[in-house]
């Protein structure tokens, strides 16, 4: 809401700089976004009187003028305009002057003749023909009022006022008006609020003989007040009105339309006027639209209405969408002779829904939807009629038609100073509170606060408390530290998550944050088969675009996007991870989807191959205290490399140690070359998809101390030869089983394939550390263990390398 300061001063006499005004209004609750004056962009432009005009010797379209600027010698200015005559008063931009748009004017020579400035047209001053209807559009602006030469042009043209732009919150529709803001201003500056009561002089005839109003749906129309003006004289409105409209950002059109806008800005109540010729039968019917009914709105668009929409109709059909926009034939035209003024109150939510559905939020609908005051409709209409008489815009027909279905009954709130003080932490007396409330138009009746009908945001103690708090000053109120000792700790889950994330960072991974939604194309990018369950995603019904239309069921595409971005930025290596939420639709669509937490990591670069990433995952599992996990090859995927991917899972046993299931912990592997090709990534990328939920649920407890060994260890190295397809995990399992309890640790220190062994075979070299906690192991015990191991291995064709 833009408001010229001088307009507000009609209601409240205050005096301060614009900056101070903005500051104080903001702190009392009417937030000022900006303030500006048109004068700020116009400097050193004065009113000049044309003393003489002679033709330019070297030009057939330019003239040389002598301009009286109120002091010293006249100034010579060359101009190309042809609408000047001696004696005209014109805006003259002198040497070193500034015009809107940052244009600077300096003296110079035009075809050899000195020109000490420029005479200005409307557009050069940032004005239009609507602001000065008597001016010519393509010539110099000639003032039509007597002004002393030398007067600053901004003053002469009414451009020196300051326009303040407020951010009005939805609870205060009363402040979408100069009058409402002036009320706040008066309370803020401690000056009286001087209200204006419209007075309409007696006219002619009787409105009831011309106009009938019928409200068919009183739930959506609380009040409709109509009046008629005959013999309208359509012409430009006076300069003061045009200036005020312009300062509020509203384009002046003609006196009648300007009056409706002026009243809306002054009182906050949208007004409308209809050409009486197009109100068939002289009857206004406020009703719901019929399905499929059509109207062409003032903006020239044909619109199809639906049954829940409220319209203004005549006996033939719709003439306006109630509270939103008028129909095409409902405006004011050059040949209009009789008009109907509307001042009405419609149901806010209904207007909001209609405007939204038709895709046209208007100044009027924006006001109605916040909830206006039906009790104020008549005053606004009277103000409009008063202005008609003031502007001599037509002849007012006596009386109004007022159909009032919902009156706002008086609302009262008991003033409870103790409750308010308790809520605010203040110690104010009842008198101090009343002193704040009265200037805001609240009345006291005993202990009750009587709420004015335009302050329907006031409902209970806390609302009164806010009024008091903002005029005491939020920053003058005490700041206290809460009583009572509260203890807070991170939950086990939060501690666990932090530990996992910090571990990954320690291994060299960078954490990413990506969007939780993406396109369905993401599934194609990772080559997910058509019927894959991950394609079943939560769909956003009103997405910004297809790219962000479904909630991700896997964060892998998001992380691969990051990898691709960094590959394109020529990063030499790219170890990244995201602590990501994935969203799975619930089988019961009425229930919330399932949100699960994952860690998805991916890496490329010389340090990152399959085993490096697998090592990271193994470390994470170890940090999580998870033991007994198993690994198996995963050859199923189209997303993952079928020869370089594994699943890590935790077997689940029942009480009798029977295997009854398994819990998937992670998938580790290289990304399939076809997927990488889709992302345009050349190097091999290894990724891991880790279920943080599963890790947390199966985490180990606090580590328990083991005594340091008292007896020496024995070591044995085993160089083994195995068929290529024998898994290292299988060999390790058999070694562990064969050695039994005395195996302290087992490590694989070499894997060899090549010329020195048979084709189709691989050699694996293990180091075993054997130890017993209660004795020193004999060589015999150790040798026996090795024999058992070798026997176990023989069963799968693994033998000692000769």
Partner 1 sequence: MKQALETIRRTADELIAAAADERVVDELRVRFLGKKGELTAILKQMGKLSAEERPVVGALANEIREQITEHIAQRTKQLANAALEKRLEAETIDVTLPGNRPAQGMRHPFEQVLGELKQIFLGMGFDVVSGPEIEYDHYNFEMLNMPKSHPARDTQDTFYITENMLLRTQTSPMQIRTMEAQKPPIRIICPGRVYRSDAVDATHSPIFHQIEGLVVDKDITFSDLKGTLEVFIKKLYGEDTKVRFRPHHFPYTEPSAEMDMSCFKCGGKGCSMCKGEGWIEILGCGMVHPKVLENCGIDPEVYSGYAFGIGLERITMMRYGIDDMRLLYENDLRFLRQFK
**Residues within window 16-55 making contact with partner 1, judged by CB under 8 A:** 26-29, 31
Touching partner 1, residues 552-571 (CB under 8 A): 562, 565-566, 569, 571
* Total residues belonging to the chain: 802
- Dihedral sign, Cα of residue 238, residue 241, residue 244, residue 249: negative
Out of 71, 197, 475, 531, which residue is the one contacting partner 1 (CB under 8 A)? 475
Measure the CA–CA gap between 295 and 276, rounded to whole angstroms: 18
Closest distance of CB 477 from partner 1, Å: 6
Within 270-416, residue ranges assigned H as helices are: 348-358, 363-368, 377-391
Contact pattern from residue 357 through residue 376 relative to partner 1, giving x for each residue in contact according to CB under 8 A and a dash for the rest: ------------xx------
Nearer to partner 1 by Cβ, of 87 and 589: the residue is: 589
436 CB contacts (<8 Å, ≥6 apart)? 187, 467, 468, 471, 472
Q: Which residues pair with 117 in a beta bridge?
A: 94
Touching partner 1, residues 233-252 (CB under 8 A): none
- Dihedral sign, Cα of residue 95, residue 97, residue 101, residue 102: positive
Residue with tokens 């200005």: 120
Closest distance of CB 685 from partner 1, Å: 14
Touching partner 1, residues 776-795 (CB under 8 A): none
Three-state secondary-structure class, residue 393: coil
Nearer to partner 1 by Cβ, of 51 and 428: the residue is: 428
Contact pattern from residue 521 through residue 550 relative to partner 1, giving x for each residue in contact according to CB under 8 A and a dash for the rest: -----------------xxxxxxx---x--
Nearer to partner 1 by Cβ, of 66 and 421: the residue is: 421
| 425 close to 482: Cβ distance less than 8 angstroms | no
Touching partner 1, residues 488-517 (CB under 8 A): 488-491, 494, 498, 501-502, 504-517
Nearer to partner 1 by Cβ, of 563 and 668: the residue is: 563
Measure the CA–CA gap between 375 and 223, rounded to whole angstroms: 8
Nearer to partner 1 by Cβ, of 272 and 470: the residue is: 470
Tokens of 710: 């008292």
Closest distance of CB 392 from partner 1, Å: 39
Nearer to partner 1 by Cβ, of 174 and 243: the residue is: 174
Distances (CA, A) of 372 to 68, 313, 343: 53, 22, 11
Closest distance of CB 168 from partner 1, Å: 9
Contact pattern from residue 572 through residue 611 relative to partner 1, giving x for each residue in contact according to CB under 8 A and a dash for the rest: --xxxx---x-x-----xx-xx-x-----------x----
Q: Phi and psi of 190, rounded to 5°?
A: 65, 35
Out of 85, 483, 657, 756, which residue is the one contacting partner 1 (CB under 8 A)? 483
What b-and-e string marks burial along 113-130, b requiring 16 or more CB atoms within 10 Å of the CB?
eebbbbbbbbebbbbeeb
Nearer to partner 1 by Cβ, of 572 and 751: the residue is: 572
Q: Does 479 bind partner 1 (CB under 8 A)?
A: yes
Other Cβ atoms closer than 10 A to 538: 19
Half-sphere exposure of 169 (CA within 13 A, CB side): 6
Smallest CA-to-CA distance from 754 within 766, 763, 764, 744 is with 763
Closest distance of CB 351 from partner 1, Å: 10
Closest distance of CB 194 from partner 1, Å: 25
Tokens of 143: 């003032």
Other Cβ atoms closer than 10 A to 675: 25
Nearer to partner 1 by Cβ, of 538 and 648: the residue is: 538
| Helical (H) or strand (E) element with 664 | strand 659-671
Other Cβ atoms closer than 10 A to 618: 17
Nearer to partner 1 by Cβ, of 28 and 130: the residue is: 28
Measure the CA–CA gap between 47 and 141, rounded to whole angstroms: 11
Q: Is 642 exposed, middle or buried (0-12, 13-18, 19+ CB in 10 A)?
A: middle
Touching partner 1, residues 127-186 (CB under 8 A): 169-172
Touching partner 1, residues 387-426 (CB under 8 A): 422-426
Measure the CA–CA gap between 674 and 661, rounded to whole angstroms: 33
Contact pattern from residue 422 through residue 461 relative to partner 1, giving x for each residue in contact according to CB under 8 A and a dash for the rest: xxxxx---------------------------------xx
Nearer to partner 1 by Cβ, of 240 and 474: the residue is: 474
Contact pattern from residue 325 through residue 354 relative to partner 1, giving x for each residue in contact according to CB under 8 A and a dash for the rest: -----------------------xx--xx-
Residues in contact with partner 1, counted by CB under 8 A, come to a total of 89
Out of 466, 647, 670, 689, which residue is the one contacting partner 1 (CB under 8 A)? 466
Nearer to partner 1 by Cβ, of 217 and 398: the residue is: 217
């Amino acid at each position: 809401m833009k408001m010229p300061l001088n307009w507000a001063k009609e209601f409240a006499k205050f005096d301060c700089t614009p900056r101070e005004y903005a500051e104080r209004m903001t702190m009392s609750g009417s937030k000022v976004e900006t303030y500006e004056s048109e004068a700020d962009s116009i400097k050193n432009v004065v009113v000049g009187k044309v003393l003489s005009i002679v033709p330019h010797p070297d030009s057939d379209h330019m003239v040389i003028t002598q301009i009286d600027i109120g002091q010293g010698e006249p100034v010579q200015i060359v101009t190309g305009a042809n609408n000047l005559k001696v004696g005209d008063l014109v805006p003259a931009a002198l040497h070193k002057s500034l015009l809107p748009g940052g244009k600077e004017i300096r003296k110079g020579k035009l075809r050899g003749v000195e020109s000490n400035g420029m005479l200005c047209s409307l557009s050069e001053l940032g004005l239009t023909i609507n602001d000065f209807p008597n001016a010519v559009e393509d010539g110099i602006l000639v003032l039509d009022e007597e002004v002393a030469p030398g007067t600053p042009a901004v003053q002469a043209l009414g451009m020196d006022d300051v326009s303040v732009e407020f951010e009005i919150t939805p609870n205060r529709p009363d402040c979408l008006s100069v009058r409402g803001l002036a009320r706040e201003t008066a309370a803020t500056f401690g000056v009286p609020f001087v209200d204006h009561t419209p007075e309409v002089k007696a006219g002619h005839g009787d409105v009831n003989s011309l106009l009938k109003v019928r409200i068919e749906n009183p739930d959506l129309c609380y009040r409709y007040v109509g009046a008629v003006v005959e013999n309208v004289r359509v012409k430009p409105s006076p300069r003061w009105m045009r200036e005020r409209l312009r300062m509020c950002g509203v384009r002046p059109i003609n006196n009648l339309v300007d009056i409706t806008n002026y009243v809306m800005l002054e009182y906050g109540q949208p007004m409308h006027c209809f050409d009486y010729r197009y109100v068939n039968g002289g009857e206004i019917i406020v009703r719901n639209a019929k399905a499929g009914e059509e109207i062409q709105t003032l903006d020239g668009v044909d619109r199809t209405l639906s049954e829940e929409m409220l319209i203004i109709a005549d006996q033939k059909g719709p003439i306006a969408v109630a509270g939103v926009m008028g129909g095409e034939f409902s405006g004011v035209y050059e040949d209009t002779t009789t008009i109907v003024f509307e001042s009405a109150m419609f149901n806010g939510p209904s207007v909001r829904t209609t405007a939204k559905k038709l895709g046209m939020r208007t100044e009027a609908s924006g006001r109605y939807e916040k909830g206006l005051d039906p009790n104020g409709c008549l005053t606004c209409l009277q103000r409009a009629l008063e202005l008609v008489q003031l502007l001599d815009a037509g002849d007012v027909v006596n009386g109004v038609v007022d159909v009032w279905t919902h009156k706002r009954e008086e609302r009262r709130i008991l003033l409870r100073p103790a409750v308010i003080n308790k809520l605010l932490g203040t110690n104010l007396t009842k008198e101090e509170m009343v002193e704040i409330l009265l200037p805001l138009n609240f009345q006291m009746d005993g202990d009750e606060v009587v709420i004015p009908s335009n302050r329907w945001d006031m409902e209970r103690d806390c609302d009164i408390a806010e009024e008091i708090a903002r005029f005491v000053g939020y920053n003058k109120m005490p700041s206290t530290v809460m009583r009572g000792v509260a203890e807070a700790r991170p939950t086990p889950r939060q501690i666990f998550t932090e530990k996992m994330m910090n571990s990954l960072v320690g291994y060299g991974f960078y954490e990413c944050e990506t969007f939780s939604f993406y396109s369905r194309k993401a599934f194609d990018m990772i080559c997910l088969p058509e019927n894959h369950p991950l394609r079943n995603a939560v769909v956003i019904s009103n997405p910004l675009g297809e790219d962000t239309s479904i909630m991700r069921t896997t964060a892998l595409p998001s992380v691969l996007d990051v990898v691709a971005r960094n590959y394109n930025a020529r990063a030499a290596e790219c170890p990244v991870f995201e602590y990501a939420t994935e969203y799975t639709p619930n089988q019961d669509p009425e229930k919330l989807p399932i949100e699960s937490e994952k860690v998805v990591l991916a890496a490329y670069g010389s340090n990152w191959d399959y085993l490096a990433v697998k090592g990271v995952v193994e470390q994470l599992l170890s940090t999580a205290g998870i033991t007994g996990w198993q690994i198996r090859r995963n050859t199923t995927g189209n997303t993952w490399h079928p020869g370089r991917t594994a699943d890590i899972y935790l077997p689940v046993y029942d009480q009798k140690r029977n295997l009854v299931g398994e819990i998937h912990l992670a998938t580790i592997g290289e990304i399939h070359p076809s997927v990488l090709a889709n992302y345009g990534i050349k190097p091999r990328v290894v990724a891991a998809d880790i279920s943080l939920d599963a890790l947390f649920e199966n985490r180990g407890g606090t580590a328990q101390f083991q005594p340091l060994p008292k007896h020496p260890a024995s070591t044995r190295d085993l160089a083994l030869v195995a068929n290529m397809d024998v898994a290292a995990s299988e060999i390790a399992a058999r070694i562990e089983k064969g050695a039994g309890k005395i195996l302290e640790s087992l490590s694989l220190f070499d894997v060899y394939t090549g010329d020195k062994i048979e084709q189709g075979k691989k050699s694996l070299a293990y180091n075993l550390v054997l130890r017993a906690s209660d004795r020193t192991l004999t060589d015999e015990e150790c040798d026996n263990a090795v024999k058992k191991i070798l026997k176990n291995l023989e069963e799968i064709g693994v033998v000692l390398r000769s």
